[in-house]
Amino acid sequence: MTATFTPTDYVNYTTALATTLINITQATPTITWSNPANIGYGTRLSSAQLDATASVPGKFVYTPSSGTVLSAGQNQQLNTTFTPNDNVNYTQANATVLINVKQATPTITWKNPADMVYGTKLSSAQLDAISSVPGSFIYNPQAGTVLSTGMHTLTTSFKPKDTVDYTTASATASINVITPV
């Protein structure tokens, strides 16, 4: 940059020139990205969570990437690096947000068992619930119990093997105990 100084007093002063160098650095784009809403375990990351915007045109790269399934947990980081199309005037920029991934509830399938005759002990024929994930069932009443005649509600509690990503679940079934003929 050059500046010319012209004095108002031409008699005692002369015109002066000054030159200096100026460094213009690249601007950093502004990234706008809010913490996404909570998701349940099993939900793949998508544009619903990976939705940052920038003050200039360019491209975002997310870590973890779209399609990733995160384990259940609180305050997990989502990161992005933004590369502007104009890499002469703008530099790359980074941003981080936090997401909560809630535990999923396993699906339990348990059909009402067929009527059974009084005196028959409960067994795996009646206590036969299945789950969408590995784990163990606890039945009430338990196997070996002889129920009185009439309608009864059977209950089960399910504890998943993966207690990080899945929560416990429960289910009920009804059974009719009939009088022997």
Domain boundary among 40, 74, 102: 102
Taking 90 as the threshold, does the pLDDT of residue 20 lie above it?
Answer: no
Domain boundary among 56, 85, 102: 102
Which 3 state secondary structure label does DSSP give 125?
A: coil
**Section 129-158 average pLDDT:** 98
Residues 147 and 162 in one domain: yes
Residue 21 in domain: no
CATH number at residue 78: 2.60.40
Tokens linked to 165? 């990503």
Read off the pLDDT of residues 26-52 as tens digits, 9 standing for 90 and up.
999 999 999 999 999 999 999 999 999
Residue 138 in domain: yes
Residue 124 in domain: yes
Taking 90 as the threshold, does the pLDDT of residue 15 lie above it?
Answer: no
Residues 98 and 113 in one domain: no
**Section 132-149 average pLDDT:** 97
Residues 76 and 127 in one domain: no
**Section 44-72 average pLDDT:** 98
Would the pTM count as exceeding 0.95? no
Q: Number of folded domains in the chain?
A: 2
Domain boundary among 49, 82, 102: 102
Residues 97 and 116 in one domain: no
Read off the pLDDT of residues 70-114 as tens digits, 9 standing for 90 and up.
999 999 999 999 999 999 999 999 999 999 999 999 999 999 999
Residues 130 and 93 in one domain: no
With a CB cutoff of 8 Å and minimum separation 6, the contacts of 47 are: 66
Residues 120 and 144 in one domain: yes
Q: Using an 8 Å Cβ cutoff, are 173 and 129 in contact?
A: yes
| Residues 141, 147: Cα–Cα separation, whole Å | 9
Cα Rg, the chain, nearest whole Å: 35
**pLDDT band at residue 18 using 50, 70 and 90 as cut-offs:** confident
Q: Which domain holds residue 136?
A: 108-178
CATH number at residue 161: 2.60.40.10
**Section 110-136 average pLDDT:** 97
pLDDT at 52: 98
pLDDT at 153: 98
